[in-house]
């Protein structure tokens, strides 16, 4: 499985063909974090856009927060919030990938590259 970062989802929604093709060419399943769903819904401009986003996210397996992901995220925030400016949503997305032992596909490599054991695409 490959976890898609929120920025990848945004590029797909914008119709970026390069991103769409990369995701379509993965030979394993893709999933998204529930925090990415929250970020997309939060950014919706109106109810019509929210309905479109609901249909879009239903195309993916959603990996929800649990105690293990939350515990891992707390550790990442403690270790990297001050030194690398790791924010809470990114810590949860990274923790989701770590706990599920799957690579993270992101265009924001600088936001995650310092996290040990996190495989980035």
Please tell me the distance from the alpha carbon of residue 82 to that of residue 34, in angstroms, as a whole number.
25
The average confidence (pLDDT) of the chain is 97
Please tell me the distance from the alpha carbon of residue 98 to that of residue 121, in angstroms, as a whole number.
14
Percent of all residues in the chain with a pLDDT value above 70, rounded to a whole number: 100
Segment 31-89, tens digit of pLDDT: 999 999 999 999 999 999 999 999 999 999 999 999 999 999 999 999 999 999 999 99
Give the pTM.
0.94
Tell me, what's the pLDDT at 31? 98
List C-alpha distances in Å: 71 to 77, 78, 119, 121: 10, 11, 19, 24
Tell me, what's the pLDDT at 121? 96
Please tell me the distance from the alpha carbon of residue 27 to that of residue 66, in angstroms, as a whole number.
27
CATH number for the domain whose boundaries are 2-111: 3.40.50.1010
Please tell me the distance from the alpha carbon of residue 121 to that of residue 26, in angstroms, as a whole number.
11
Domain ranges, ordered by start, for the chain: 2-111
């Amino acid at each position: 499985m490959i976890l898609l970062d929120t920025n990848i989802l945004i590029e797909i929604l914008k119709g970026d063909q390069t991103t769409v093709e990369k995701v379509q060419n993965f030979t394993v399943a893709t999933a998204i974090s529930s925090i990415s769903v929250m970020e997309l819904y939060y950014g919706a401009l109106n109810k019509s856009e929210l309905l479109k986003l609901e249909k879009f996210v239903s195309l993916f397996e959603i990996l929800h927060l649990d105690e293990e992901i939350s515990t891992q995220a707390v550790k990442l925030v403690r270790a990297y919030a001050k030194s690398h400016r790791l924010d809470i949503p990114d810590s949860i997305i990274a923790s989701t990938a770590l706990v599920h032992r799957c690579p993270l596909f992101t265009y924001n490599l600088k936001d995650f590259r310092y996290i040990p054991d996190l495989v980035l695409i």
